[in-house]
Structure formats: structure tokens, C-alpha cells
Amino acid sequence: MNAPALLRWTASLTLGLLLIAPESMAQPEGFNYDESKVPDYSLPDPLLAEDGSKVTSADEWRLSRRPEVLRLFEDYVYGKTPIGRPEGMRWEVFESSEGAIGGLARRKQVRIFFSEDDNGPRMDLLLYTPSNAEGPVPTFLGLNFRGNHTVFPDPAIRLPEGGDDSVRGERRGRWPVDTIVSNGYGLATIWYHDIDPDVKDQWSDGVHPLAYAEGQSEPGSGEWGSIGAWAWGLSRALDYLETDDHVDGSRVIVMGHSRLGKTSLWSGAQDERFALVISNDSGCGGAALSRRRFGETVERINTSFPHWFTDRFKRFNGNEDELPVDQHMLISLIAPRPVLVCSAEEDLWADPRGEYLSAKHASPVYELLGTDGMASREMPGLNELISSTIGYHLRPGGHDVTDRDWEVFIEFANRHLGRSNSQ
């Protein structure tokens, strides 16, 4: 096994214990889970420009205010992405089948190289599309935590170098491939470690070196952290999907859970090619309002995961009121495209109410751009889908992706993107 592959796989095993497992653990003690103890706060107005003028037209938002808000998130939260699509980027299909999952799906496995160097950074994309589709289909795109081979017990899915076949299909509960393709959608997924290893101070393996100047060994002040890198990788996956004959590149849905839900929101905010954005249990730094200080806080996330954000985000540890943005403004950057925020009742660490309020407070931008925004003015009850252009859903249970979540994802996509040609 070459050194980069060994590092990626070692990181995967380590993170499986240290970072992934806590998603299902009890809420940490010493943090606020009492709504009556949420401090008073005032949210910045997404429609109030930096010069103090009020944005009153769609053109003002698109041409002036939206770039301002995007820059503020680059400067203070996620960091600026220093590169776009690399000139040497290319891909090759290394496996395909017309009869996957008992004939239900087409399967394709694609290696995407980020440079002309075969040994340089790359990612493997796994794609399933319905075999009975009469044309290209809308497709869910999401990063996975444990490797492509873990999303479905398909023996043809290639193992990562040094991978363990005993965990094949272990995350099937989060990725119901057969249900997705039966409903007329494609599914594309990538192991997030292929893009950037989720390890503090691990800046040499992954895509960051593609942007380094001579002598640079880590991102500079204000540059992208891991969330920025993962979001960049999702855009590079979309570059490929736009060329695939079985995928409708104008109807690609970016979806993510937990830290990858933060990533899906940031990727959808930056890349307007994504037709629909879904955040599941994304919490602090994702859909939840930072100023509420409910559950995970800015200080806690920057202490536990300092590599996720730009170094400047740490200025707001315990000082959330000084942030020039809050997460409702992140959602507003997705306007007027549909966005769905999903929460779980028992996942207080991710602050379900804060996620709902963030979606609600993005509504003025959506309404300015001619949509219905968030149709509900009160947080809905369990299993009640708000299916307006800004959608929201709260399900029973904890921090996970479940069959119920996928039912909601598909229902929301059906409403806003239309069903595929296979239905």
C-alpha cells in the first residue's frame, strides 16, 4: 500500500472510533439544553447591506448583497476556497454494470483525478441509476463516512486500498440504494476521506496541497478548512455528473448528514449548479443558529474540530454575538433554489429548534426572489413536513439518517424537481 493510501485508511479506522461513534452517544454534559436559558440575541439582517442600505430588489441581492454575504462566510467561518476546477482534472470509469441490484439499477464506478498525476489526490465516485429510466434522472449526491463499500452490500463495489471487506454494507441503513432507485432517482456517493482526511493538522494528504504556494504546508489565514475542501470535492463530483448520460445534471441534489450536512449547505451556497440542497442534523456550523448557544457551541466545535473551519472562526469562541453572520444567512445564499433542513427530536446537541429558526429567518430573501420561502411560522410537530421552497422536517429519534429521512428527502425532491422519466 502506498503512503497516501495507508494514511487515508489509518485515519478512517481512527476516526471511526473518535469522531464517527459520538454521533450516536448521549449529549455531552455541561451544555445548555434548556430553552428557557437561551440568551437574548439579535440576528444580523441578510437584506441589510454593509453600507447600511436595505436590499429591496432581486437584482440588488444577486449583484451586490449576495456576494457580500458569501464573502463574510469565507472570511470568518469556512475560509476562502483558493482554487476552482483544476486544469488537469480528469476521470475514468473503471467499472460499470447494467444489471446491478438484481437488475434494478445501473452501477458505475468512476475515479476522478484532481491533477495529471496518477498518484496525486483523487476520489472514487460510486453511482447507481434506475435501469428502467427512459432518460437522465435527478440524482442525490452525498459524501459518506466509512467508504463506498459500506453504503450497500454489493460485492462489486471496489474496496479502498487496505479496506476491510467485513464492513461491506454496514451503513446500508443510511443509504437505501434500492429505495432511491426504485423511486426514479440516482445516487452518487464518495468517501469523504478521499477528498480530505478528517484529522487535525493533517494538511499534506488530500486536496489542500493542490492550492499551496511554494513552501506552504498548511492553509493560510482565512483559507479553507476541511469543510471547505469537502464542499469543493462535491463540486468536482458535479463536474463529472453533468457529463454522465444517465444523470440529469440540472437536477442534482446535494445531501449531507452531521458534519457533511454542514458541507452540503456550504457547497450549495457556493455552487449554484446544485438544484436542491438537503441538510440532515447539521447543527452548529450548519443549519443551527450560533447565537442560541444551545447544544454544541462555536467554542466547543472549534476546540474539538479545529480543522473544519477557517482559523478566523475561532475569534468567535464564546463571542457569537460578534459574528457578522449567522446560519440563516448561509441558507439565504441558496435562494431561490429549494433547501430542506431536517432535524431529529432527541438530537439536542444539533439544536433542532435552532435549525428550524435558521430556515425560517432565511425566508425574507427567498420571498424577495419570488418564492414562498418558509410556509410555516411555527415549528412543526413530529413527522410534519413543511414542503415550501424552504422546507423543514422533525422526526423522532436521534442523530442518524433513517428510512423516514429518505422518505422525506424523496417527497421533497418530487415536489420541487418533478419525478424522473422512469416513473
On whether residue 423 sits in a domain, the answer given is no
Annotated active-site positions, please?
258, 399
pLDDT, position 161? 83
- Structural domain contains residue 24: no
Name the burial class of residue 299, with classes exposed (0-12), middle (13-18) and buried (19+) by CB atoms within 10 angstroms of its CB.
middle
* CA 236 to each of CA 123, 159, 231, 239, 257: distance values in angstroms, whole numbers, following the listed order: 10, 21, 9, 5, 19
Asked, for residue 305, whether it belongs to a domain, the answer is yes
Nearest to 78 by CA among 178, 238, 228, 190: 228
What is the CATH number for 89?
3.40.50.1820
- Inside any domain, residue 36: no
Cell of 194: 478521499
Q: What's the rounded Cα separation, in Å, for the pair 185 and 128? A: 9
Peptide bond into 336 cis (omega under 30): yes
Positions of the chain with pLDDT lower than 50, given as ranges? 1-25, 421-423
pLDDT of residue 6: 42
Domain count, the chain: 1
For residue 37, is it within any domain?
A: no
How confident is the model at residue 22, as a pLDDT? 42
Range of the domain at 183: 3-19+46-417
